Chain A
Amino acid sequence: MGWIILIVVIAILAIWYVSSYNGLVKTRTYVQESWSQIDVQLKRRNDLIPNLVSTTKGYANYEQGTLKKVVELRNQLTAVPADDHQKTMEVSNELSTTLRSLFALSENYPDLKANTQFTNLMEELTNTENKIAYSRQLYNSSVASMTVKIQSFPSNIVAKIHNFQGSEYLQVPEEEKTTPKVNFDDFK
């Protein structure tokens, strides 16, 4: 009788251990996946910027200073080591801000705005910018759920044994920081 109880207890512990471990692996994969989503968009934007330069080439006086800064930031971004997520996002955020001001300035160039190649490119760039922002949102929410798993009892024991490290949240640019508080209490 005693043996059976012992075996049952060991089996339960083993099942718990395996499932916590798998849960941790899953959340870590989500974090990695959501980073690669950001990465895809960053690369895409890096590919689009040379097009922006060549499309606006004919418009000699088109915001040369801002455009130059965009190209510089792009080159800086490609130079950042691939595993330094914080630094990557820092440069990327600065690039986003510069691009946004470039978009705003394009209002002053009616003939440029009439160029379909330019408007298509603007749509592509805006799309990439939005996707970067949304994948960062996803990344941060998967980091949050991983942090909960690593820190809460009892899954923190498994996390410690297998040395699971939490990831850092990605910084959100100042102008996007005003997060509205969504309250679902009214719907219960």
Chain B
Amino acid sequence: MLYEQIASNKRRTWVVMFGFGLLVLALGAALGDVFWANWVSGTVIAAVVAVVYMAIMISQSTNVVMSMNHAKEITSVDQAPQLWHMIEDMAMVGKVPMPRVFIINDPSPNAFATGNDPEHAAVAVTTGIMDRLDREELEGVIGHEISHVRNYDIRLQTIALALSAAIGLLVSFANNWFWWGGSRRRSDDRDSGGNVIGIVISILLIILAPLAASIAQMALSRNREYLADASSVELTRNPQGLINALRKIDDSQPMQAADPNSSALYIGDPFKNKKKMGDLFATHPPIADRIARLEKM
């Protein structure tokens, strides 16, 4: 089960990288076509930017994600003995190395894990979760995060996050040029019919890109939460702790420090999106469903 999950996560990571790569290239081509009437240069620039960005993100992913979420690293057990000991326990029983530990100064209880693989993983928790949850509950949460580490969910999610952030960057870049640079050029050669189609495609891409990115991110995360909950119970042997933890996480105010792009990483939706219509686009399965599954154990 675990090995299948790891293999599938590694495979999906490649598919996601490939898919996002295509999307970035298409976007680059469309933008190149609009601004310079030359899709080749757009594609080349997008490819270069994408490769450089991906290289930086992959090598720095943990630090980038942590600073995006205002998380501060703690490096010794004395800074938070309980938390440190619990992470140590869960890493031991999950047979992964001790991850780096980060704390987010936010009164809302939440936690997430990130990194490229179990050897380079990190776990972050909010100060709120340390204040409000008792030992058994927090242990369930840490078990959940260590399960994400152990089955390579973190690699897939971190790369998806990096790539969707890249597309966001590209789109906002394009938006700026569309208003400032694009209009000048458009008046120069308004007689070329092909450009109109190019512009339409570009607009579509500019609208579609963020949507595609967010849907891809959502597809990555939902079933994983159920699985990580179950794996956590396998480690702690204590479903009640996680059930109570999920209740407390659900019953709290939204987070201030969380980064919107990273919301899928968190154990509970940090922004508490309760819209019914949002169900299809929700990054997290409803807490009630997760509790129901845990209660069956």
Contacts and interface: CB of A to CB of B under 8 A. Distances in A.
A181 interface: yes
Interface in B251-297: 293, 296-297
Question: How many B residues are at the interface, by size bracket?
Answer: 20 to 34
Interface stretch (B22-30, B85-93, B99-107): B85-93
Interface in B229-250: 230-231, 233-234, 237-239
Interface in A150-185: 176, 179-184
Contacts of B293: 186
Contacts of A180: 233, 237-239, 297
Nearest to A124: B81
Interface of A (DSSP majority class):
helix
Contacts of B86: 130
B82 interface: yes
B96 interface: no
B233 A182 contact: yes
Most chain A Cβ neighbours within 10 Å, of B81, B234, B237: B237
Contacts of A131: 88-89, 92
Nearest to B78: A120
B226 interface: yes
A120 B297 CA distance: 34
Given A181-B297, A186-B293, A135 B92 contact: yes
B297 A134 contact: no
B216 to A, nearest CB: 20
Interface of A: 37, 120, 123, 126-127, 130-131, 134-135, 137-138, 176, 179-184, 186-187
